[in-house]
Amino acid sequence: MTGASTHAVGIDIGGTGIKGGIVDLRQGALVSDRMKVATPQGAKPKDVLAAVEEVLHRLEAEPGMPLGVAFPAIVKNGHTLSAANVSDKWIGFPAEEFFEDGLGRDIHFANDADVAGVAEVRYGAAKDRAGLTILTTLGTGIGSAVIMDGTLLPNTELGHLHRAKHSKDAEAYAAYSAMEREELSWEKWAKRLQWYYSHLEFLFTPDLFVVGGGVSKHSDKFLPLLELNTPIVPAVHRNNAGIIGAAALAGD
């Protein structure tokens, strides 16, 4: 990489906060402070756009620097087809075009779990690992990224797998939010994760699981409790993965 393409901006839009930073694409590391603003109440498109503009202003990013945006939705051809913890107005919305017009610059818009997977494959726990890697983010819900030999299969929704004879899907049963909501111990939560990862293992026979989300910093409390045939490791970039992965895709 030469010139401006060695750096890009990543923006990670979440249900509670919008984070951004300037990333060195050679190292996969932030070279700026991480800027964060609260996600506007209701998270409607025009309000989220204004919040992203505020983050960019604080970053003082050069106008020509590539910009990637991670978003909690299925993203296809620049359109958001779902909405998790944001306004329903995003469903079927031309998000990429809306942001490009509003910001006056080209952007790359992608699913938040997918970009976290890209960050870990290029610069983190799954770097140089051949075969099938499945990254899951354990938070309010369960996001997923499926990557085969470094190539992303976008928009998988493996948090919505259902358990036989139960009405709850996987994320309602096994996300970190379920542990908090039901005040589960690490051991009781791990039993739910055991079901989930065993099910993924049966369906996909992956070569590696990577566990992201803020709770991954406590991975020593629950990953050793799981019994799997597949290696399972915590993500390296944790809450910066969305920023780094979005920037990496924009740099492409």
Residue 20's beta-bridge partner residues?
A: 11, 35
pLDDT-derived band at 239 (thresholds 50, 70, 90) equals confident
Mean pLDDT across the stretch 235-245? 93
pLDDT-derived band at 2 (thresholds 50, 70, 90) equals very low
CA distance 52 to 20: 8
Domain extent at residue 245: 3-114+241-251
SS3 sequence, the chain? CCHHHHEEEEEEECCCEEEEEEEECCCCEECCCCEEEECCCCCCHHHHHHHHHHHHHHHCCCCCCCEEEEECCCEECCEECCCCCCCHHHCCECHHHHHHHHHCCCCEEEEHHHHHHHHHHHHCCCCCCCCEEEEEEECCCEEEEEEECCEEECCCCHHHCECCCCCCEHHHHHCHHHHHHCCCCHHHHHHHHHHHHHHHHHHHCCCEEEEECHHHHHHHHCHHHCCCCCCEEECCCHHHHHHHHHHHHHHC
Statement: the pTM of the whole predicted model exceeds 0.85: yes
pLDDT-derived band at 38 (thresholds 50, 70, 90) equals very high
63 and 34 within one domain:
yes
69 and 10 within one domain:
yes
Tokens 């004879």, residue located: 165
64 and 38 within one domain:
yes
- One-letter identity of residue 15: G
- pLDDT score, position 89: 97
Share of the chain above pLDDT 70, in %: 98
- pLDDT score, position 3: 45
- pLDDT score, position 1: 45
Task: Render pLDDT for 59-101 as a digit per residue (tens, 0 to 9).
Answer: 998 888 999 999 999 999 999 999 988 999 999 999 999 999 9
Q: What is the mean pLDDT of the chain?
A: 94
- One-letter identity of residue 116: A
State how many domains the chain has: 2
135 and 51 within one domain:
no
Count how many residues are written for the chain: 252
Q: What is the CATH number of the domain that holds 133?
A: 3.30.420.40
CA distance 74 to 25: 25
Share of the chain above pLDDT 90, in %: 88
108 and 7 within one domain:
yes
194 and 135 within one domain:
yes
Tokens 């797998």, residue located: 161
Q: Is residue 147 part of a domain?
A: yes
